Each structure stands twice: as structure tokens, then as C-alpha cells.
Amino acid sequence: MKLMRIQEMEEYILSHGTVSLDELCQVFNVSKNTVRRDINKLTEKGAIEKVYGGVTSIEKTALVPFENRTIQHQDEKTKIAHYASRFIEDHDLVFIDSGTTTKSILDTLDPAKNVTILTNSLDIINAASALKNINLIIIGNNYKRKTRSFVGMDDPAMLDKYNINKAFMSATGTTLTDLQA
């Protein structure tokens, strides 16, 4: 999943400060052309800037800790999670990320549904483990406390192995850029 790779690449760059193109190729198991395309997306977003032989983070604001984001807009997040869970059908393979909005999806899922959940979220892992009809696949091998998620350099390759029916991902924030009248 390209979007997940780009998100993980951004997190990797932000956590390491400055990295080379070769390092990104090795960590994410992709070609230099793919890394360059992903870097262009991140540059447009304003998260990083290109430097000779690599990239460096220009994070403007620190990521708000998961616990703080969880208590913001709780009612709206619960409604969104309830609405999203209605789209999950029997025998779906569903990816759910580690967002504060997506963490409640399984709380409102019909417990009779037989689904496979693919996730890197500690909260989704805990919720899924209590549901007997859920088959759980966990990705990531390094735990990040700040996002309550597991990440790993093999994640993109692992995701490529599965035919995911539905994916629920949340964003920490959005901006409006390049608006034209």
C-alpha cells in the first residue's frame, strides 16, 4: 500500500532527522525511483526537504501524543467509527490503522461477523482479541509509544501479500494548500 509506505517513510525521516536515499531504498525495499516519487509527495506536503544525497525533516509542529488526541472530539470520533463499522461485511479482510478515530471501529462492529483484521494498532489488537469471530494479523515489530502503533521496515512487503477488501485510516491533521479560485 503506497499511502502506508509514504506515511511510514515520513515517520522514519522525522524520527531519524536526515537520511540518505540509499538508506530509504534499503529500509523500505523499494527502488530509488520509487523513493524519489515518495519524497516528492512528502516535499509537497511540507514535511521534509531535499538535501544532497537524501532528505531531512522540517517538522513544524510535534505530533500531539495519542492520549491527548484521544480525548479531543470524542463524540465525533465515536460516530465516525460507528458509521465505518457498518461497511465491514462477513469474510472481509480489513486494514485498520492506529488512529484515534479508527480505534473505536471494533467497539461497534457486529460481534457475529467473521472478519480478518490486519493492523499495527495496539488498541485494535486489544479490541480484536476480545472478539471470538475475529482473525487477527499484526504488522510491525517495533512499538512506538507516542502513536500506540507497531512499525517495521517489512510492513510494505507484508501488506503486499494480502488482498485487503477495506481499509480504515485516519489523519492526524489536514491542511488546504494550492487553492485556486
DSSP state of 108: G
Closest C-alpha to 124, from 140, 74, 112: 140
- How sure is the predictor about 180, in pLDDT bands with cuts at 50, 70 and 90? very low
Q: What is the pLDDT of residues 4-56, one digit of tens each?
A: 888 889 888 888 888 899 999 999 999 999 999 999 988 888 778 888 888 88
Task: Give the per-residue pLDDT at 144.
Answer: 81
Task: Give the per-residue pLDDT at 125.
Answer: 96
Q: In the chain, what are the domain boundaries?
A: 2-57, 68-168
Examine the pLDDT at 181 and tell me if it is beyond 50: no
Rg of the chain over all Cα atoms, to the nearest angstrom? 17
- How sure is the predictor about 174, in pLDDT bands with cuts at 50, 70 and 90? low
Q: What is the pLDDT of residues 51-86, one digit of tens each?
A: 888 888 875 555 666 666 666 778 888 899 999 999
Distance in angstroms (rounded) separating the CA atoms of residues 46 and 134: 39
Q: What is the pLDDT of residues 98-157, one digit of tens each?
A: 888 898 899 999 999 999 999 999 999 999 999 999 999 999 888 887 788 888 767 777
CATH for 2-57 is 1.10.10.10
The runs of H, that is alpha helices, within 46-179 are 66-70, 74-85, 122-129, 155-160
Q: Does domain 68-168 have CATH number 1.10.540?
A: no
The runs of H, that is alpha helices, within 49-135 are 66-70, 74-85, 122-129
